[in-house]
């Protein structure tokens, strides 16, 4: 496993478990049967932190669609540098930071964390064309 694939794997795992806290909040608020029911406009709302975490999870999924192919393309063309490894690590940690600051409600820091992750993706895209 390349180091880039390692960071992709951690990112996939992180994205895959983000739903657990906000679903637990849903169970707490609506009860187990209410949490498993079809969504309704009459549902009791989540806690504010849980709503923000849902949005952070949505954003993580949307960005994984970009990050994963970039890493897989690099693996396919057998291209790896210290910069691609750093970019993947930075991307993972920016997603962790994004999740935390979004969940606790720090909008400026949320945007900064997102932007750092975006630029990590730019580094990967440039590396595919071997500009890095």
Q: Is the dihedral of CA 25, 29, 32, 33 positive or negative?
A: negative
Residue 131 has pLDDT above 90, yes or no: no
Q: What is the mean pLDDT of residues 37-58?
A: 93
* Extents of the domains making up the chain: 3-16+48-128
Average pLDDT, the chain: 96
Give the three-state DSSP class for 18. Answer: coil
At a CB cut-off of 8 Å and minimum separation 6, what does 62 contact?
Answer: none
Q: Give me the pLDDT at residue 79, please.
A: 96
Tens-place pLDDT, residues 56-112: 999 999 999 999 999 999 999 999 999 999 999 999 999 999 999 999 999 999 999
CB 5 within 8 A of CB 75: yes
pLDDT of residue 132: 60
Query: Would you tell me the crossing angle of helices 48-76 and 107-128 to the nearest 10 degrees?
Result: 10
CATH number of 3-16+48-128: 1.20.120.550
């Amino acid at each position: 496993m390349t180091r880039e694939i390692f960071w992709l794997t951690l990112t996939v795992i992180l994205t895959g478990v983000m739903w657990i806290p906000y679903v637990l909040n849903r169970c707490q608020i609506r009860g187990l049967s209410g949490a498993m029911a079809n969504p309704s406009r009459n549902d009791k709302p989540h806690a504010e932190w849980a709503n923000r975490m849902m949005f952070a999870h949505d954003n993580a999924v949307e960005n994984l669609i970009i990050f994963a192919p970039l890493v897989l393309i690099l693996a396919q063309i057998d291209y790896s540098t210290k910069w691609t490894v750093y970019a993947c690590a930075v991307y993972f940690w920016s997603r962790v930071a994004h999740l935390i600051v979004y969940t606790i409600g720090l909008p400026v820091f949320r945007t900064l964390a997102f932007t750092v992750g975006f630029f990590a993706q730019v580094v990967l895209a440039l590396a595919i064309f071997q500009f890095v």
